[in-house]
Amino acid sequence: MKNSEKLRIPQSALSFLRSVAGAAGGLAIGLMICTIAGESPGKVLTVLVNSSFGSGYDFGMTLFYTSYFILTGLAVAIPFKSGLFNIGGEGQLTIGALAAAWAGVAGAGIESHALAILFATLAAFIAGGIWGAIPGYLKARRGSHEVITTIMMNFIAAGVTSYFTLYALKDPDSSQAETIPLSTVFQLKPFAVFNGAPMGGLIIALAVMTCVLHLVLRNSVWGYRLKATGENETAASTFGIAAPASWLSSMFVAGGIAGLTGLVEVLGNSHRFKIGFSSDYGFVGIAVALVARGNILGILPSAFLFGVLQKGAGSLDLETDKVTRDLTYIIQGLIILGVASDGIWDWFSSIWRKRNA
Amino acid sequence: MTGLALLVLPVQMALAQVRVGLVLERSGKDDKSFNASAYQGLKRAEKELGVTTKTVEAPDNAAYESLQRAFAEKKFDLIVAVGFHQLESIKKNAARFPNQKFLLVDEDAKAPNVRSVMFEEHEGSYLVGALAAMHAPGGKVGFIGGMDVPLIRRFETGYAAGAKKMNSKAQVLSNYLGVTGEAWNNPPKAKELALDQFNRGAEVIFVAAGNSGVGVFDAAAERKKLAIGVDSNQNWLKPGFILTSMLKRVDEAVFDSVKLFKEGKFTTGLIRYGVKTKGVDYSLDEHNARLVTDRDKKQLEQLRADIVKGKIKVPDYYLIQKK
């Protein structure tokens, strides 16, 4: 007992350390697999590091991917506080991105850059939010399981966005499935240091937003209500905290945040909506939130890690002869396993205690 | 010193191999279709022309630009980008590396250092549509598309026009698989749609739906009817039940371009591969030799000649859409 008092580490820091160690363990096993594939782990690691930090452009691309994962990671982590598992991030982000593209068409008369961005942001947030709120409402009102409804909503979102992209908002000058391009007023400027990578001040805004969300969820009444519902819905309602309100609001905010992907993709990158722009970023968000252990601030490093791996996937294919992009998916999986295998640490600590008893 | 350098330089140039980098779409080199064809073309170039190649498969749509750029920074001689998704990124990189040569397949980059290759899918579809009508005495033929996008519509309109040319009363039943990328990879659903079309009286079904096509071939074998494959020669997948395949010779386009590059005859600008150059074509091999008769072939060759001469104008969905 004395021992543990001396070594008192705050619970959150301990949890963070466990995550880092788990991720490192997963990465190490992944690199060992490279050896089996016939490539030296040192080389794979060098390629991964170079592809993410090698130049301004590379770093900009890594942050570009990171920004997707911050948003989709938050979209999973926030409802998780209220006890919901949102796997509808993919649908929410496509609807949000479509709404951003729509804003560019509907707001064609807007001349102020700030106003244009605000309009598109609101459109993306509200559209994504509504898409998230529908399963939230069904859960609150009918008790429909959110895992089923959110995944259904993904398919509906794909249908809706296809319709708008191919008919209502179709770019008549293009033979591809994409919407009318945005005017320059709606476009986000990238940083020049990133030398062509489509990322600018948005990444800072997203980091700030994550910190604010962390504080709000920790200190506000709303955050307390979500947590109370998530911990024990019956106990919460005994104290007058209505679970349905928590579910609805957390799903609305989560959907809205996923919808902000429209800023990254439509305003920042393609300047239009293209069918199939997302490589399942909504689903990767689940992994991002898992590795962050549902901690809101933890989403930032976790998203960055996935950004590095996503950027590295193509580079590994290019720079090595034997390893392909698939290896990074293996590494991703191992990292998730490493972080998720909580039990190992309790096992370690029980051995430690026995030895010191 | 200068003299020595001048002497050494040509020798080095001769020794230095031509290096070709290939950037494939997300579906990758095992898609049994478009990307696979490009990959085969490049492998053939490696074997027959002795060029060095490197192939990468993009993990996501944003990676096209980084991968092309990485090839350019590594000073590859020719960078090949496959698929219309790469249009925007090729445009950006062509401007960033004005001395770099690129080949773009399936779209027109309109850049001075890019050779763009496009296929006249409607012409090839017209020929297989005509062939379908010849094998459908009842006058009903089917079309099954992957995703409802303009490119696949282009197949459909050409196919319908070809069928109507042979039989003015021909009726085309048409279905699309879906609205997500899953549409290219859903054989069970394709099979259901095909069975339904056969129930409604279709005798031949043309499928342009990537990997989903095998479902249609299964349905054809089950009902003892006919199907038509797409992109690469798929006749071998269900011999006797696949009337022909509408070929899109991506492999030829890639091989030809690399060959021209090696010989110093590489040109940029838009190159169209139509029925004239057999860049789009119908396939004939031992698997469908008994299905396609000499009379059929004669008629098809007549149609091809008429298209080349301009006597037949095949409707092009891209142009119809713009009106």
Question: How confident is the model over A38-59, as pLDDT tens digits?
Answer: 888 889 899 999 999 999 999 9
Cα–Cα dist B33/A45, whole Å: 34
Per-residue pLDDT of chain B (323 residues; tens, 9 = 90+): 444 444 444 444 445 689 999 999 988 888 777 898 999 999 999 999 999 999 999 999 999 999 999 999 999 999 999 998 899 999 999 999 999 999 999 999 999 999 999 999 999 999 999 999 999 999 999 999 998 888 899 999 999 999 999 999 999 999 999 877 778 889 999 999 999 999 999 999 999 998 899 999 999 999 999 999 998 889 999 999 999 999 999 999 999 999 999 999 999 999 999 999 889 999 999 999 999 999 999 999 999 999 999 999 999 998 887 66
E strand or H helix at B79, and its extent? strand B78-82
Q: Which of A310, A338, A328 is nearest to A70 (CA)?
A: A310
Per-residue confidence at A192, pLDDT binned at 50, 70, 90? very high
Lookup: tokens for B160 = 């319908």
Q: Which of A5-14, A176-185, B183-192 has the lowest mean pLDDT?
A: A5-14
| Neighbouring C-beta atoms of residue A28, cutoff 10 Å | 13
C-alpha distance from A158 to closest chain B C-alpha (Å): 6
Tell if the CB–CB gap between B56 and A318 is shorter than 8 Å: yes
Q: Nearest by CB to A318, from B67, B179, B322: name it.
A: B67
Task: Give the per-residue pLDDT at B319.
Answer: 87
Q: For residues A128 and A322, is the Cβ–Cβ distance under 8 A?
A: no
Q: Which of B137, B119, B273, B298 is nearest to B208 (CA)?
A: B119
Tell if the CB–CB gap between A315 and B57 is shorter than 8 Å: no
How open is the CA angle A145-A216-A117, to the nearest 5 degrees? 85
Q: Nearest by CB to A61, from B66, B148, B318: name it.
A: B66
Backbone angles phi, psi at A200, to 5 degrees: -135, -135
Q: Which residues of B touch A196 (CB under 8 A)?
A: 65, 69, 92, 96
Q: Which residues of A touch B151 (CB under 8 A)?
A: 175-176
Interface probe for A, chosen from B68, B149, B154, B322 (most Cβ of A below 10 Å), is B149
Interface probe for B, chosen from A52, A53, A175, A194 (most Cβ of B below 10 Å), is A175
By three-state DSSP, how is residue A12 classified? helix
> Taking CB atoms and an 8 Å cut-off, how many pairs form between chains A and B?
78
SS (H, E, C) B42-73: HHHHHHHHCCEEEEEECCCCCHHHHHHHHHHH
Lookup: tokens for A99 = 């709404």
Q: Which residues of B touch A324 (CB under 8 A)?
A: 57
Q: Which residues of B touch A61 (CB under 8 A)?
A: 62, 66
DSSP letter, residue A47: H
Q: For residues B282 and B124, is the Cβ–Cβ distance under 8 A?
A: yes
Task: Give the per-residue pLDDT at B323.
Answer: 62
Structural domains of chain B sorted by starting position, each given as residue range(s) with its CATH number in brackets: 2-119+250-273 (3.40.50.2300), 121-247+293-322 (3.40.50.2300)
Q: Nearest by CB to B58, from A61, A175, A314: name it.
A: A314
Task: Give the per-residue pLDDT at A4.
Answer: 47
Domain boundaries, chain A: 60-321
Q: Which of B105, B112, B128 is nearest to B38 (CA)?
A: B105
Q: Which of A134-138, A321-325, B242-246 has the lowest mean pLDDT?
A: A321-325
Cα–Cα dist A96/A99, whole Å: 5
Q: Nearest by CB to B61, from A159, A279, A317: name it.
A: A279
User: If you measure CA to CA, which chain A residue comes closest to B25?
Assistant: A314
Tell if the CB–CB gap between A166 and B149 is shorter than 8 Å: yes
Tell if the CB–CB gap between B62 and A57 is shorter than 8 Å: no
| Neighbouring C-beta atoms of residue B59, cutoff 10 Å | 26
Q: Which CATH number fits domain A60-321: 1.10.287, 3.40.1580, 1.10.3470, 1.10.1060?
A: 1.10.3470
| Neighbouring C-beta atoms of residue B2, cutoff 10 Å | 6
Please report where in the chains the tokens 């549902």 appear, as a residue. A294
Mean pLDDT in residue range A129-139 = 97
E strand or H helix at B156, and its extent? helix B150-166
By three-state DSSP, how is residue B112 classified? coil
Q: Which residues of B touch A54 (CB under 8 A)?
A: none
